[in-house]
Chain A
Amino acid sequence: MRLRQTCSQPRQTPTFASLLTHSPLLIALPICLLLATGFVVVGVYTERKVSAFMQDRLGPMEVGKWGLLQLFADLLKLLQKEDIVPRAADRKLFLLAPAVIFASVFAGYAVLPLTPDFQASGAAVGIFYLMAILSFDVVGILMAGWASNNKYSLFGAIRSVAQMVSYEIPLGLTILCAVLVGQTLNLQELSFQQGIYSSQTNYLFGLKATGIDVSDWGGIFTWNILRNPFLLFVYVIFFICTLAESNRAPFDLPEGESEIVSGFQTEYSGMRWALLFLSEYAMMLLVSFLGAILFLGSWNTPLPNIGPVRLADWTSGEPGTVWGNVTGAFWLFGKAFLAVLVQMWVRWTLPRIRIDQMMYLCWKVLTPAGLVLLLISAVWRLLMV
């Protein structure tokens, strides 16, 4: 009887569980899926054009105007390919692994605040969840490498796991630095703090002692990298770590073509390979978004209000309005895409590093630097309040 009474109560504000079961999920899922897959179309084309530009080539030019339709031609080719499963492979795991990898990357999109009003899940543990999900990618890669039953695949998988597990430590430290400044794990709250719609007062460089109130200036002055200038160095470390996490050059040891064919992807063909490819690009975009949200002011405009020239007000709108959401999405996507371009620039500039150099960089350079910066950020936080 008691049960029936409690059931008939109207549903109030959602708990985490109910957020999972019934709410913006139905809209958010297709939007994020479209975002991740759509980015592959843009990302692959950009990557090929950027690399062509850097190597003084033209890149794809044949299919469509300026080769714009090249990726669709490639997709058509991949769709026609046979889905080969090696006879000695562990069939079930082999087929499952790409899905696990993609799912774990894609699940990360759930907590990203893409605009001031759009966030698939407002879970209070946002960024912490993101870190957990990123670390779960490892299991899928290990599955793919082991199930292929091929020594290059296994080597690739083990390299990849060693790399990702190691780089998670400096990555966690850098994320912690940003969280220290914002005092919240929710990415949407972190976003609100970094702009003119912040509920708290922002001082110049975060220092209360300066007494210069920049809450009204907005723009770049309220971004995290200027609320605590040391976060600029932190962002550099974060960027290096995310390169390693997404297995991008110069950290592409797990799929280094000249050494181990292509690592855990060696045995995959057709659409399954495309899924692996998709998750690599989805990961690039995810970490770029994360960097933009944590350090580069999220969906806030970079232009400050200067006296009567209300640049920040003109280029962003109140949360809740259409204009606010459109400009918010524009700035966030712009920042993330800029970070993706830098990732590509790095890839086509730097040679692949050796595995011992990779470990050295992580454990002896980035981790100690991350710890020192964490200490500095903590002290800075004390100066902020």
Chain B
Amino acid sequence: MQPNDVAVNIPEVIQQIPLNYYLIFSTALFVIGIIGVLTRRNAIIIFMSIELMLNAVNTLLIAFSSYRSDPTGQVFVFFIMAVAAAEVSVGLAIIVMIYRNIRTIDVGVLNKLKW
């Protein structure tokens, strides 16, 4: 058995599932993320909801890229992941810093920039 010949034909999912379903799926995921941002007050959970939205976009990019056999979309996802990693490291450092100074990460309390 030479393992080279993996993936020479069309994946079954691509044959059977219309691309529209991926659109619906990632829209639902994205909207769940939006609802999370709007309903929660814990900064970390808001942050996680944003990650969820990013992933909804990633899924869609990968689906389009696979259906069209165009690697560019997947390269985009790669960069999105890189940026997300950098964003999370800085963002969490900021959240920890905020907690250290005001002992809470409730975004309702962080309203000093309002005025």
Are A13's CB and B8's CB within 8 A? yes
A18-B8 Cα distance, complex, nearest whole Å: 12
Q: Count how many pairs of residues, one from A and one from B, have CB atoms less than 8 Å apart in the complex.
A: 43
Residues of A within 8 A of B1 (CB): 117, 119, 122, 188, 319
What is the size category of the interface that chain A forms with chain B? 20 to 34
Residues of A within 8 A of B5 (CB): 13
Known: A117-B1, A122-B1. A3 touches B7 (CB 8 A): no
Residues of B within 8 A of A122 (CB): 1, 3, 6
With beta carbons under 8 angstroms apart, the residue of B3, B9, B13, B15 that contacts A124 is B3
B108 sits at the interface (CB 8 A) = no
With beta carbons under 8 angstroms apart, the residue of A3, A7, A12, A119 that contacts B3 is A119
B101 sits at the interface (CB 8 A) = no
Distance (whole angstroms) from the CB of B51 to the closest CB of chain A: 15
Query: What is the chain B residue whose CB lies nearest that of A24?
Result: B1
B20 sits at the interface (CB 8 A) = no
A117-B3 Cα distance, complex, nearest whole Å: 10
A319-B2 Cα distance, complex, nearest whole Å: 10
A210 sits at the interface (CB 8 A) = no
A176-B21 Cα distance, complex, nearest whole Å: 38
With beta carbons under 8 angstroms apart, the residue of A15, A117, A188 that contacts B11 is A15
A124-B6 Cα distance, complex, nearest whole Å: 7
B39 sits at the interface (CB 8 A) = no
CB neighbors of A among B1-41 (8 A) = 1-9, 11-13, 15-16
A19-B7 Cα distance, complex, nearest whole Å: 10
Distance (whole angstroms) from the CB of B89 to the closest CB of chain A: 13
Residues of B within 8 A of A12 (CB): 8-9
CB neighbors of B among A84-136 (8 A) = 117, 119, 122-124
Are A7's CB and B16's CB within 8 A? yes
Residues of B within 8 A of A6 (CB): 15-16
Residues of B within 8 A of A319 (CB): 1
A189 sits at the interface (CB 8 A) = yes
Are B11's CB and A17's CB within 8 A? yes
Are A189's CB and B3's CB within 8 A? yes
A117-B1 Cα distance, complex, nearest whole Å: 6
Known: A15-B11, A17-B11, A117-B1. A123 touches B6 (CB 8 A): yes
Are A16's CB and B7's CB within 8 A? yes
Distance (whole angstroms) from the CB of A250 to the closest CB of chain B: 30
CB neighbors of B among A1-33 (8 A) = 3, 6-7, 12-19
Query: What is the chain B residue whose CB lies nearest that of A7?
Result: B16
Are A13's CB and B6's CB within 8 A? yes
A266 sits at the interface (CB 8 A) = no
A119-B3 Cα distance, complex, nearest whole Å: 9
Residues of B within 8 A of A186 (CB): 3
Known: A117-B1, A122-B1. A17 touches B12 (CB 8 A): yes
Distance (whole angstroms) from the CB of B55 to the closest CB of chain A: 16
Are A17's CB and B6's CB within 8 A? no
Known: A6-B15, A6-B16, A188-B3. 10 other contacts (CB 8 A): A12-B8, A14-B6, A15-B11, A16-B7, A119-B1, A122-B1, A124-B7, A186-B3, A188-B1, A189-B2
Report which B residues bind A (CB closer than 8 A).
Answer: 1-9, 11-13, 15-16
**What would 6 A/B residue contacts be, using CB atoms closer than 8 Å?**
A12-B9, A15-B7, A17-B11, A17-B12, A119-B3, A124-B6
Sort A-B residue pairs by CB-CB distance and give the 4 closest, nearest first: A122-B3, A6-B15, A15-B11, A15-B7
